[in-house]
Structure 1
């Protein structure tokens, strides 16, 4: 049987449930707690609405139960009064029983919902406990905040004290450094005092020695006076010797221009003349780079020339000047060209040169093929070579004509113009006066080259020789000179040889005598 509840009883029961209303603004919780409170409030509102709906439903059920009771009472009355309506009553009773079952089922549903509501009430009570605990936490947070403020203030105080302590540490460090410096100074003072004692001891020894030295100084001063007088006499003697030596050297050179010293002097003089003739190739001088490059190929060099390569330009031009004069000399001294010059005029040198070689060859054959031993025959080829000494002294000098007038040698005047024309292919002067001054040197250079290489070398005993070095030959400072460092020798080779080495017995290293080393311009390997 279901319990019959009146509307007033339902309202009283619902009102007995306490739903506290929370004011969220007054609760100082974190965001998560505020969200949970909002959810709890929403659940409470939903539960309140469901209780109100259930109250209305219970009222409706009570009305149905009251109607049922009335119907039963009516049925009993009808059973008693009218059996005719018994069937109708059964039908009604059956209908009422069905309605009762439906009501019973709904009561079960309501009870289940009551259980759910009871569980939610428990959840709400648990959250109320949490809220109360949060209030306690909030109070503790206030206490913690106050303590944090105190800790922060003490932290500031600690920082200030740390600054003071750091400043004190710096002061202590400075004091310690000063103390260490003072100790170091004390140690130095002690060392100085010890050294002072040693110095004092040495001073006493020195003073004793000074007295000895002073005595010796007096003796030395007396000897110095004697030495000074002797030095004056020595200087006078040396000056006299120098004057005599210079006069002797001059006399020897003038009387024997074919000795080794004179030969070296003339070689050096020729080298200076070549440098002056070639010039520095700077200033108002136009260089034909293409022709210079072709000329360099003639000597097998693969270097590439630009206007900035002045040393290489000068070297190749100097080599070309010497080679051209060699060519002119070979043309002049050939037997086939003897008829070109008068025998007793400009051809005298070539006739004499060729006859001397012929006589020397005959003298050597005569000494070798005729039996006997004597110095005259043995020395005849050497004495005949004195013809070359005469040619070296006066060869290609000016020719004396009638009334003792002189004129340039025909060979010199002819080839002077040819040489200037040849070298002007490679360089041109912008200044006419400078051009005339340089070209006037050509005749003197031709004479010096011919006299040196054709005559002067033949006079030496044994006969001297000249050697050109080729492109890529190894550098040997013993018979080569150039602008290299000693530690570069293994890294460089010959680029061009612009003056040959002149030497005696060059191939015999033990007997080799160098008159002048080869002029070399090098390149790196």
Structure 2
């Protein structure tokens, strides 16, 4: 009987030990997930998916600007002002001869218009309002991340969670914004309306672009203007949300006029010739990558020049 009792006690101890091991394994797994910054392959913000979406954005902007050929008249006078704005002294001859350069500066201007509108939107610091929800979320994330950094720095402890909390918070917040940010606003009666930021930015973008290149074909003009909403959402989503889901945060950078062409950082038609002796006329899509100022930088998307 005593032997049976001992065997039963041993079996019970083995079961308890197994449960404790499972619990510890579960805790370690949860801790690993909490301290892991890598994105899964099926995450929409994974580098491969992000690069594909950046390429799609490039195509959409090009289509929005149009090929500047049939039924389209370029306002040469205003385009010259744009080139001056972006510090490009290259002389425009006429629409046909300088078509590629005109396309490039218009594509650059599309991005800059959206950047300007988004920057103004995220600077909002007034009373909480539904139309400024994204701005308020971003503001609170910055505030809470700073407080968590203080907790990690000025409160004793050796846990890993506190140390990585600001990074995980940033990733989660901007992942949420990349899914829901600037989508249609829902009403209580199950109807929805376009986000006011999208409406205002769309109107501004179309008005400016219609003054720079006049589309005389009604259907073509309508298609182009409808594409504006997609482009605005893509630009804000990528540059203001999705790049910040990455760890470290992915950066973007423009190249200035007369920068030496570099095939590791830039993509352009000029490479058909002796690129080592060529220089940038205009950068119309920024370089995107991690640690861009470091020798160990990781390039996501080459700059378009």
1:212 is matched with: none
1:275 is matched with: 62
Q: What is the distance in 2 between the residues matched to 1:365 and 1:486?
A: 53
Q: What is the distance in 1 between the residues matched to 2:119 and 2:226?
A: 23
1:314 is matched with: 103
1:504 and 2:290 correspond: yes
CA contact (8 A) 1:349 1:395 kept: yes
Question: Which of residues 141, 144, 150 is equivalent to 1:356?
Answer: 141
Q: What is the distance in 1 between the residues matched to 2:150 and 2:46?
A: 27
Larger Rg: 1
Q: What is the distance in 1 between the residues matched to 2:264 and 2:227?
A: 32
Residues 104-144 of structure 1, C-alpha deviation per residue, up to 9 Å, x if partnerless?
xxxxxxxxxxxxxxxxxxxxxxxxxxxxxxxxxxxxxxxxx
2:88 is matched with: 301
Question: Which of residues 367, 374, 381 is equivalent to 2:152?
Answer: 367
Greater length-normalized contact order (CA 8 Å, ≥ 6 residues apart): 2
Question: Which of residues 176, 181, 185 is equivalent to 1:395?
Answer: 181
State the Cα distance separating 1:312 from its structure 2 match: 0.4
2:8 is matched with: none
Where structure 2 has 5 or more consecutive residues not aligned to the other structure, the ranges are 1-39
Q: What is the distance in 2 between the residues matched to 1:437 and 1:407?
A: 21
Question: Which of residues 234, 259, 263 is equivalent to 1:473?
Answer: 259
1:260/1:307 Cα in 2 relative to 1: closer, same or farther (>3 Å)?
same
Larger deviation, residues 447-456 vs 356-365:
356-365
Q: What is the distance in 2 between the residues matched to 1:427 and 1:389?
A: 36
Tell me, what secondary structure is at the counterpart of 1:402? coil
State the Cα distance separating 1:486 from its structure 2 match: 6.5
Q: How many residues are aligned here?
A: 263
2:192 is matched with: 406
Q: How does 1:196-215 map to 2 (within 5 A)?
A: none
CA contact (8 A) 2:124 2:132 kept: no
1:272/1:487 Cα in 2 relative to 1: closer, same or farther (>3 Å)?
closer
Q: TM-score, normalised by structure 1?
A: 0.49
State the Cα distance separating 1:422 from its structure 2 match: 1.1
1:329 and 2:118 correspond: yes
State the Cα distance separating 1:481 from its structure 2 match: 0.4
Residues 276-328 of structure 1, C-alpha deviation per residue, up to 9 Å, x if partnerless?
11110110001000110110011111111121211101100011110110100
1:486/1:418 Cα in 2 relative to 1: closer, same or farther (>3 Å)?
closer
Q: TM-score, normalised by structure 2?
A: 0.83
Q: What is the distance in 2 between the residues matched to 1:433 and 1:455?
A: 33
CA contact (8 A) 1:270 1:445 kept: yes
Q: How does 1:180-191 map to 2 (within 5 A)?
A: none
Q: What is the distance in 1 between the residues matched to 2:136 and 2:256?
A: 34
Hey, which of these two has a bigger chunk of helix by percent? 1
Question: Which of residues 485, 496, 504 is equivalent to 2:271?
Answer: 485
Tell me, what secondary structure is at the counterpart of 1:347? helix
Q: What is the distance in 1 between the residues matched to 2:152 and 2:49?
A: 31
Q: What is the distance in 2 between the residues matched to 1:365 and 1:515?
A: 32
Q: What is the distance in 2 between the residues matched to 1:327 and 1:474?
A: 28
2:240 is matched with: 454
State the Cα distance separating 1:258 from its structure 2 match: 1.3
CA contact (8 A) 2:76 2:95 kept: yes
Residues 153-199 of structure 1, C-alpha deviation per residue, up to 9 Å, x if partnerless?
xxxxxxxxxxxxxxxxxxxxxxxxxxxxxxxxxxxxxxxxxxxxxxx
Q: What is the distance in 1 between the residues matched to 2:201 and 2:68?
A: 23
Q: What is the distance in 1 between the residues matched to 2:236 and 2:219?
A: 28
CA contact (8 A) 2:175 2:242 kept: yes
CA contact (8 A) 1:257 1:393 kept: no
State the Cα distance separating 1:372 from its structure 2 match: 2.3
CA contact (8 A) 1:502 1:516 kept: yes
Q: What is the distance in 2 between the residues matched to 1:332 and 1:303?
A: 33
